[in-house]
Amino acid sequence: MKSSRLHPGLAFLLAGFVILPGLAQTSSSDYQSAKVLSVREVRHAGFRNSRYPTTPQYTMDLAVEFAGQTYCTGYETPVLDEVHDLMAANGKDVQVSLHGKQIQLVLPNGRRVKADLVRSEQC
């Protein structure tokens, strides 16, 4: 008859799946209200001389104002829905959380975007 004990490695792995996602999430108290001042979209085409099809990459430059300061962000994505959501957020209120050189935005439709802070000349 086999024992019903759980292997120690499996127990550790299961604990990681249960505990770590809860620790990684940012609490809603870390977010502040902000306003998107401007959004600029730049589409980068793939390599023209490639024989394989490429997915276009979009760079989004955003200017966000909160806590009395304007922050400029750069965000790259191949996902067209994210581009449309960011463009739709222009001039609207969003929730932001600042962590070092990254900013996390919660757009009006609930999409979460993590962008890098860039120099103010880039927005």
- Kindly report, residue by residue over 24-45, the tens digit of the pLDDT: 444 556 899 999 999 998 877 6
Please indicate, yes or no, if residue 3 is contained in any of the structural domains.
Answer: no
How far apart are alpha carbons 64 and 56 in whole angstroms?
Answer: 25
Question: Band of the pLDDT at 21, cuts 50, 70, 90?
Answer: very low
* Domain span including residue 81: 30-122
Q: Is pTM beyond 0.75 here?
A: no
Please indicate, yes or no, if residue 69 is contained in any of the structural domains.
Answer: yes
Please indicate, yes or no, if residue 118 is contained in any of the structural domains.
Answer: yes
pLDDT at 55: 76
CA neighbor of 75 nearest in space, from 109, 56, 108, 103? 103
Please indicate, yes or no, if residue 18 is contained in any of the structural domains.
Answer: no
How far apart are alpha carbons 91 and 103 in whole angstroms?
Answer: 18
Domain containing residue 46: CATH number: 2.40.50
Please indicate, yes or no, if residue 12 is contained in any of the structural domains.
Answer: no
Please indicate, yes or no, if residue 11 is contained in any of the structural domains.
Answer: no
Per-residue pLDDT tens for 53-89? 777 888 899 999 988 889 999 899 989 899 999 999 9
pLDDT at 23 over 50: no
Tally of domains in the chain:
1
